[in-house]
Amino acid sequence: MALLSEEIAGAFPSWAKSQSQYADLDLNNVVVLTMPQPIVVQAIRTGGIALGNLTLDISRAFGFYPDVVMGGPDPLRRLRRLGVLEPQARFFSKSRGRALLVRKGNPLGINGLIDVARIGARLAQADATEAEARAGNRAAIEQLIGKSAADAFFAAEVKHFPGRLGIMHRDVPEMIARGYADAGLMHITSSPIGHGYFETISN
């Protein structure tokens, strides 16, 4: 969400034109593919992606191939093993750790993890396609409040999000904004995602 803002994606063409080494680039057809990271890896590995009945070739010959791939360490390592990435990754954001998001103004008075379990708040988190993040969430919550309280914390997890095939980390703030969930677990980075609409509770 932050990358697609006017401040970043919107400002990119004019920034590139101001740089002598990029001044001649054709930037009239910039495509951003924001899919779950395993799907991005698979699309590059297999040379295509299926969108319903439509299959797009992803290859240099076809002209639809990424110039930049952004992701976590594991997907980037897998792409490096395929020989499609440079050996040195460049960091673009810094994790500030896990946080509990609630709607602005905190209407349910959620001040910590125990409150989520106590009131049976509907919880949003990335689904099974982000298994590593889910496992990390579970381990962190159990360490902080114990297994039985963690069971109650996750009991009212929202499993489906209208209009989505799965719930990704970027969907969590939207679920809270639309009233599908009362609280959400997120990794917070230095990017201003959700700024002004949500409150975070460090726990």
What is the per-residue pLDDT across 67-104, written as a single tens digit (0 to 9) for each? 888 887 888 888 999 988 888 888 877 777 888 999 98
pLDDT per residue as tens digits for the range 98-155: 889 999 899 999 999 999 999 999 999 987 656 677 888 899 999 999 999 999 999 9
Question: How is residue 182 written in tokens?
Answer: 């009362």
**Residue 140, helix vs strand vs coil:** helix
Does domain 95-201 correspond to CATH entry 3.40.190.10?
yes
Whether residue 58 contacts residue 44, with contact meaning beta carbons closer than 8 Å, is answered with yes
Instruction: Tell me how crowded residue 53 is: count the other CB atoms within 10 A of its CB.
Output: 5
* Distance, CA of 73 to CA of 63 (rounded, Å): 26
CA-nearest of 182, 176, 181, 167 to 197 is 176
Whether residue 201 contacts residue 111, with contact meaning beta carbons closer than 8 Å, is answered with yes
Residue count (the chain): 203
More confident residue, 138 or 198: 138
Domain boundaries, the chain: 12-81, 95-201
